[in-house]
Amino acid sequence: MSDKKPLNIGMIGYGFMGRAHSNAYAKVNHFFHDLEYRPVLKAVCARNKEKAQAFADAWGYESVETDWRKLIERKDIDAIDICTPNNVHREIAIAAAEAGKMILCEKPLAMNSGEGEEMVRAVEKAGVANMVWYNYRRVPAVTLAKQLIDEGRLGRIFHYRTVFLQDFTIAEDVPQGGAGLWRLDASVAGSGVTGDLLAHNIDTAMWLNGDIARISAMTETFVKERVHVESGKKEPVKIDDAATFMARFANGSLATFEATRYARGHKALYTFEINGEHASIQWDLHDLHRLSYFDHNDESRVRGWRSIHVTDGDHPYMDKWWVPGLQIGYEHTFVHQVADFIEGISKGEPAAPTFADALRTQRVCDAVLKSAETGQWLDSGLSSG
Ligand SMILES: NC(=O)c1ccc[n+]([C@@H]2O[C@H](COP(=O)([O-])OP(=O)(O)OC[C@H]3O[C@@H](n4cnc5c(N)ncnc54)[C@H](O)[C@@H]3O)[C@@H](O)[C@H]2O)c1
């Protein structure tokens, strides 16, 4: 590994995504042998020094910072990885860009597209490599879906149908805010399921099927008041607990999108189905290594839905892992994204989605929330729509 150039990582936040990314940095060179760079876990930053130190010890970070500004000032850091809640993405990203650092930022890009625009301007002005962690693009079965669509196997696309269902906020006594439940606090999360879940569906959908042109949405907040962890008092809930929208893509296809945290029995059921003139595709996060595919060109006697076990060496990313038939999972999507980011730096071609790509998703999220408020069909705000 000594032949690799170091890519010194400074990561901010050590929660769920902090672990997922740290694991990816640690593994990437073991499996992707041709990369020019080797991520070095230089520093982790969080406000609580003891907890940050414990995380650094567990994952092998060389040092700890408690103020992200200090981390950004450090000359020995090449890339800043933003794994904090959404309300601080903008400030950290702009400061990191001004300091000339590469930036890997968690999704959604920002609290809203106004913030996102500022972030895009900052990275473009600074000319720094930037990427947003919409990791589901890098599930091999999802990447295979992209290949099949780009090869024209589906023909004209008529329908796109997608959901992201969870059930963890149904109880009225679940509080809002604080370290564990910032997702329920609109001042920290920006929105509810729209930014947290639908943003993933939208990113994948526009990657697979092109821009969304128009939308009509409805949202609901089923539990109107919850105790706020910080004040200890009941406060209004300002996030969307559930969001559903209809869409027209620029290519003329029709779509439905749904996300909720009130679908009893579902923990993270992210699915999509695409119906084209010649073929259809289905994918399900609970069975993420399979792609269901129906091809009308098959001889009619044997025509039917196939369940492709996406584990062969000629499937996307799979030649890097085990042997055909042995599957990989969720954590590997982050390894793939790091590998693609590093390849992008070497080639001078940014790995997608960039901040500019993620801003397009953010614009659709904003349109969803606005349409739900006004009850009107709206343009997505994307120019090609
Ligand atoms: N790509 C995905 O699939 C995916 C999945 C989960 C979360 N996310 C995104 O990742 C981000 C983090 O989510 P999470 O689930 O890891 O959250 P988390 O609550 O598990 O971790 C957040 C971390 O940020 C730290 N933090 C908060 N404010 C900070 C500040 N001002 N300065 C420094 N550190 C601060 C916290 O101490 C904690 O370590 C969010 O933007 C979320 O939307 C993406």
pLDDT digits (tens, 9 = 90+) for 12-51: 999 999 999 999 999 999 999 999 999 999 999 999 999 9
Residue given tokens 């990369």 in the structure block = 35
- If you ran DSSP here, which 8-state letter would residue 197 be given? I
Other C-beta atoms within 10 Å of 114: how many?
11
Helices (H), ranges, the chain: 16-31, 49-59, 68-73, 89-98, 113-126, 140-150, 186-189, 193, 199-209, 330-347, 355-374
Are 160 and 209 in contact, with CB atoms under 8 Å apart?
Answer: yes
* Centroid of ligand 1 to alpha carbon of 286 (angstroms): 23
Other C-beta atoms within 10 Å of 61: how many?
24
Rounded Cα–Cα distance for residues 118 and 90 (Å): 8
Residues 6+ apart with CB under 8 A from 325: 309, 311
Q: Render 277-330 in DSSP notation, one character per residue.
A: SSEEEEEEGGGTTEEEEEETTS-GGG-S-EEEE--STTSTTGGGSS-TT----H
Closest residue (by CA) to atom 33 of ligand 1?
46
* Centroid of ligand 1 to alpha carbon of 12 (angstroms): 9
Task: In the chain, list all ranges with CATH 3.30.360.10.
Answer: 138-379
**Does the model's pTM come out above 0.85?**
yes
pLDDT digits (tens, 9 = 90+) for 108-130: 999 999 999 999 999 999 999 99
Structure tokens at 352: 């997608």
Closest residue (by CA) to atom 27 of ligand 1?
84
Report which ligand 1 atom has the smallest distance to the Cα of 20. Answer: 16
**Residue of 21, 69, 83 to mutate, ligand 1, most atoms within 8 A of C-beta:** 83
Are 370 and 203 in contact, with CB atoms under 8 Å apart?
Answer: no
Closest residue (by CA) to atom 23 of ligand 1?
13
* Centroid of ligand 1 to alpha carbon of 183 (angstroms): 10
* Crossing angle (nearest 10°) for helices 16-31 and 49-59: 20
In DSSP terms, 284 is beta-bridged to: 271
Listed as ranges, residues in the chain with pLDDT below 50 are 1, 385
* Centroid of ligand 1 to alpha carbon of 185 (angstroms): 13
* Centroid of ligand 1 to alpha carbon of 18 (angstroms): 7
* Crossing angle (nearest 10°) for helices 355-374 and 113-126: 170
Backbone angles phi, psi at 322, to 5 degrees: -90, -125
Contact residues of ligand 1, CB 6 A cut-off: 12-18, 45-47, 68, 83-86, 88, 106-107, 133, 135, 179, 196
Closest residue (by CA) to atom 40 of ligand 1?
85
Are 137 and 285 in contact, with CB atoms under 8 Å apart?
Answer: no
Alpha carbon 213 to its chain's center: 21
Report CA Rg, the chain.
21
* Centroid of ligand 1 to alpha carbon of 13 (angstroms): 6
Closest residue (by CA) to atom 31 of ligand 1?
88
- If you ran DSSP here, which 8-state letter would residue 218 be given? E
**Residue of 84, 184, 230 to mutate, ligand 1, most atoms within 8 A of C-beta:** 84
138-379: CATH class: alpha beta
pLDDT digits (tens, 9 = 90+) for 40-96: 999 999 999 999 999 999 999 999 999 999 999 999 999 999 999 999 999 999 999
Report which secondary-structure segment, H or E, holds 162: strand 157-165
Rounded Cα–Cα distance for residues 192 and 47 (Å): 25
What three-state secondary structure class fits 80?
strand
**Residue of 12, 16, 80 to mutate, ligand 1, most atoms within 8 A of C-beta:** 16
Report which ligand 1 atom has the smallest distance to the Cα of 17. Answer: 16
Rounded Cα–Cα distance for residues 135 and 284 (Å): 15
* Centroid of ligand 1 to alpha carbon of 118 (angstroms): 21
Closest residue (by CA) to atom 36 of ligand 1?
13
Report which ligand 1 atom has the smallest distance to the Cα of 134. Answer: 1
Pick from 138, 143, 24: nearest CA to 79: 24
Residue given tokens 């796109």 in the structure block = 160
* Centroid of ligand 1 to alpha carbon of 334 (angstroms): 15
- The architecture of the domain spanning 5-135 is 3-Layer(aba) Sandwich (3.40)
* Centroid of ligand 1 to alpha carbon of 307 (angstroms): 35
* Centroid of ligand 1 to alpha carbon of 194 (angstroms): 17
* Centroid of ligand 1 to alpha carbon of 91 (angstroms): 14
Q: Going edge to edge, which strands form the sheet with 5-12? A: 63-65, 37-45, 5-12, 79-82, 102-105, 130-132
Looking from the CA of 246 toward its CB, the CA atoms found within 13 Å total 6
Rounded Cα–Cα distance for residues 195 and 207 (Å): 17
Rounded Cα–Cα distance for residues 196 and 383 (Å): 24
